[in-house]
Structure 1
């Protein structure tokens, strides 16, 4: 029989993961609000040190933590799902069905959220739900490996995939789309159309598999687990600083001295996300794992915004895109009148929207932050309502929402 102490450990552990996931979801909404609303989002990358400002750079940089934490926590969640008494076969079936579900959502529900248009766009965007789905399908096979070999494999992928950076994609000829899926972002043929791959499989399956192995720590007592977590997070953070300082391996874009100390620091932090480099993963997951250890010492309210957001991640994710785009459409009609109907039913310029948006379209960074905060205020009661529905209705299909 499970002891009272073990049950308490389980409750603290689940809440800490929810809080961490909820925190990065809050930050994620900032990045997507910037994508839709910021007037300079389509003009240049916020990490382009020749054009950006420190405020804009850091607005983008802080959101780099989102996908690594999502992937890592997803891996932990897979381990914990298995620990609830499920077999490896049951886990594989669950991952396969969930993976296919995520891919279908990306191709349908999310494509409409991006452009508010039922026509098939010239370029299909395969973004976050796509890579989650593909990695879950891969994990359906990997969960059958013993834990130690899987840990070695996941760490090898994370640490060594940058050795492939020098491979010229042209050597693969007509099979280059496979390389785009695995390592090099690019455009691939997809069901008679073109699709943009930004998140490649190799680094992210490594992160998800590492999270699965990390889940083993939740079989330990809290004090021991927190100590190990802190050491892992600190070790990853130090490894990032050392690797980045030497500037020889770990990222295809080395940092360089800039005209000011501030810009040099930004260059140091400007690690490659597409594909996620070793430096990028260490820079983001190191602090996140240390924070996870700290969050285990808190016992927040069950209706804390971070807990609520972290418990309904898919609902939050889909809803926040629709709300952001809906708010942009509303503000565009207020600003441009009926003329807004000619462009709001398209992707925003930052996501490859057509050249139908008016000159000067978009808003300042201050407006972006204001819209983001307002968005969170709207999301909270909706997510709290849905979390309540899920807790009251214990049916199998609710786990896919």
Structure 2
């Protein structure tokens, strides 16, 4: 098999794996009995099973954004700077529009669009728009900028903005305070993914793409991936033990050793702290090295999921929410019971609704199996057709 195809396949396999894990977190949101009232990372109320169900999905967003950056570098090998810049600008704007429309509706099922919840698709789109301008810089500048953003943005953790306009800007691009901003007419906006820290992660992924260009020695690439991956993990362990800079959520001794370990792993995602980036990207680099020479039925399935991530993202959100709506009516709720919480998802009551964690896992498996069929169809369609719009979905 062509070596370039193998390199791309290892990226797609990892992307496919994190896409499936992402569905677990979203299934928990809609179906776990405490999905809307409890915090799986709260040391006072969580259990190890619940904590790790949430923790394992922490790898999804950063690796998704990181690998998007790698894909952009691979595109730069066959596009001019001007062509790539235009593509990033238009695709980024499209993703932002999609977040406000089809993605937002999938999460809310609110036909009046009175609440906008900006998440990972917004962050990717905004990062692509930023990168469309930065792409003209030299490679080393983009790498340095990615490192600086990822390492230094935690200096703003305690920053406050008294000016209303600056406060909105900060929550869109720098901080995540989960504030709801009125847009007029009863419409509100909440941004969970401040874009700039994710842009830093995308730039790091872009820099990684250099190791995947044609002619790069595969053995040297795997050594670099393993060395860098273990080095980043080591950096996480050392700095996390110091318990100083790099995360606004310091770990603390808990009621026993297990919960103290959980506290150690409980780093900040909103926005992604430096510790969060190290904890997730380090193992991701190691996974890329180990997956490069693996080809079996499992990697074949993951490869297909990873080739069409946006289509899968839409399908899985709509499917999970539709199943939740069926349960909503099956339990005797009516339309009058809908949207009883300002930020709530439609047809998802806040309290006394859903199942135990074990049932959530069964629903997740069912969701993944159902998603396989449209994902497989679209992956084949995209692979065998050349329409311009396919690169946007």
TM-score range, shorter-chain basis? over 0.9
Q: Does 1:47 align with 2:41?
A: yes
Q: Return closer, same or farther for 1:109/1:238 CA change in 2, 3 Å cut-off.
A: same
Give unmatched runs, 5+ long, in structure 2. Answer: none
Q: Does 1:273 align with 2:269?
A: yes
Q: Choose the corresponding residue for 1:224, options 220, 226, 234.
A: 220
Q: Is the 8 A contact 1:343 1:356 kept in 2?
A: no
Q: Return closer, same or farther for 1:150/1:358 CA change in 2, 3 Å cut-off.
A: closer
Separation (CA, whole Å) in 2 of partners of 1:350 and 1:35: 16
2:255 aligns to what? 259
1:250 aligns to what? 246
2:352 aligns to what? 360
DSSP-derived class of the 1:125 partner: strand
1:400 aligns to what? 392
Separation (CA, whole Å) in 2 of partners of 1:71 and 1:342: 39
Q: Does 1:160 align with 2:152?
A: yes
2:197 aligns to what? 203
Q: If the length of structure 2 is used for normalisation, what is the TM-score?
A: 0.94
Q: If the length of structure 1 is used for normalisation, what is the TM-score?
A: 0.92
Separation (CA, whole Å) in 1 of partners of 2:359 and 2:64: 27
Separation (CA, whole Å) in 1 of partners of 2:190 and 2:260: 32
Q: Choose the corresponding residue for 2:294, options 293, 298, 301.
A: 298
Separation (CA, whole Å) in 2 of partners of 1:59 and 1:370: 13
Q: Does 1:176 align with 2:176?
A: no
DSSP-derived class of the 1:265 partner: helix
| Deviation, structure 1 residue 350 | 10
Q: Return closer, same or farther for 1:290/1:302 CA change in 2, 3 Å cut-off.
A: closer
| Deviation, structure 1 residue 311 | 0.7
Q: Return closer, same or farther for 1:385/1:149 CA change in 2, 3 Å cut-off.
A: same
Q: Does 1:101 align with 2:94?
A: yes
DSSP-derived class of the 1:187 partner: coil
Q: Does 1:289 align with 2:265?
A: no
TM-align CA RMSD: 2.0
1:111 aligns to what? 104
Q: Does 1:321 align with 2:317?
A: yes
DSSP-derived class of the 1:196 partner: strand
DSSP-derived class of the 2:189 partner: strand
Separation (CA, whole Å) in 2 of partners of 1:181 and 1:392: 38
2:5 aligns to what? 11
Number of aligned residue pairs:
388
2:30 aligns to what? 36
DSSP-derived class of the 1:42 partner: coil
1:253-284 CA-partner distances (Å, limit 9, x unpaired): 10000011000000000000011100000000
